[in-house]
Structure 1
Amino acid sequence: MFRFLRPATAVLLALALTPAVAGNTLAAEASSSTQTVASATTGEPEGPALTLELNELRRDDGACRITFVAHNGLPSNLSALAYEMVLFGTDGGIERMTKFDFGPMPQGRTIVRRFNMPELDCAAVSRILINGVTRCQGAEPRTCEQALTTANRTGIVFGL
């Protein structure tokens, strides 16, 4: 039933098959790597999330109006949500440190909140840092920080 090959024939057969087998293995590894990288770079949060998008900074009657779009993807309503944020100037120095109170955040809902910052030039803001959670009622405060994802439609830096 088994047929023995001469050593020279066995070596030639092994050399002929190696690229095909190696190619299939490499293709499979590349395919799985691509899938892993694709899922890792989609920006989709793993599990429930609070999404906070910096949507716009606009000059309005001597103030800088900052607009956020927020979505509560957590499994529960939040009766109150607030974050402390730091606004940095174009020179890298701190312009303001303030609390943005988003109020109630019903589960599954998207809301828009606008905040007017008196005597602040929007063009002077280069970065907004989310410094921490100041209020998170309806979930553990660490949940409101750990589940937070950010998005940005402006030209300034925004995030944790």
Structure 2
Amino acid sequence: MGISHLGAAAAAGLLVSSLGAAAQEAGPHLSIELNAVAPAETGCLISFLARNGYETGIDRAVFETVLIDDKGQVERLTLFDFGALPAGRPRMRQFSVPGLDCGELGQILINGTTACEAEALDEEACAEGLGLSSRTDVELIG
């Protein structure tokens, strides 16, 4: 009797594992990782790693971005133009933000898209299924 319960538990675990793998494969079509935040000569250099998981390239992606300080207050609202994002290939994008103290940056909010141009995709392609992550102490939210 104990063996059949173990067999059922193993089968259930395999099913959950298979569903998890399928969910990862179906993951976000576009993902943005906050990769680095570093002091620069005139402010702060913010680096993002973008991955386009669509089967077609995105000609231009522009995100309305809110920079929030470590006290939770809006420091500024800006546009980050990620330019062209080819299908299936990662792209590093860096933005120099003058007058910003990197040490006081707490969060970056991707507030929406102002442009998402892609011949074979609709204009919501940059917002739907957008995956966000951070390798820094600064949280990337959206």
Which TM-score band applies after superposition, normalised by the shorter structure?
0.7 to 0.9
Matched, 1:145 2:134: no
Q: Which has the higher contact order (CA 8 A, sep 6+)?
A: 2
Matched, 1:80 2:80: no
Once the two structures are TM-superposed, the CA of residue 141 in structure 1 deviates from its matched residue by 2.5
1 CA distance for matches of 2:71 and 2:21?
31
Give 1 or 2: higher strand fraction.
Answer: 2
Give 1 or 2: higher helix fraction.
Answer: 1
Moved over 3 A (4+): 37-43
Q: CA RMSD in A?
A: 2.4
Alignment correspondent of 2:82: 102
Once the two structures are TM-superposed, the CA of residue 108 in structure 1 deviates from its matched residue by 1.5
Specify whether residues 63 and 143 from structure 1 end up closer, same or farther in structure 2 by C-alpha distance, changes over 3 A only: same
Extract unaligned runs of 5+ from structure 2: none
Give the % identical residues.
Answer: 33
1 CA distance for matches of 2:74 and 2:102?
14
What are the within-5 Å matches in structure 2 for residues 13-92 of structure 1?
A: 20=1, 24-25=4-5, 27-29=7-9, 31-33=11-13, 35-36=15-16, 39-40=19-20, 44=24, 46=26, 49-92=29-72
Specify whether residues 35 and 153 from structure 1 end up closer, same or farther in structure 2 by C-alpha distance, changes over 3 A only: farther
2 CA distance for matches of 1:130 and 1:144?
11
The aligned amino acid for 1:103 is G
Alignment correspondent of 1:155: 137
Note if contact 1:48-1:74 (Cα within 8 Å) is conserved in structure 2.
no
Number of residue pairs matched by the alignment = 140
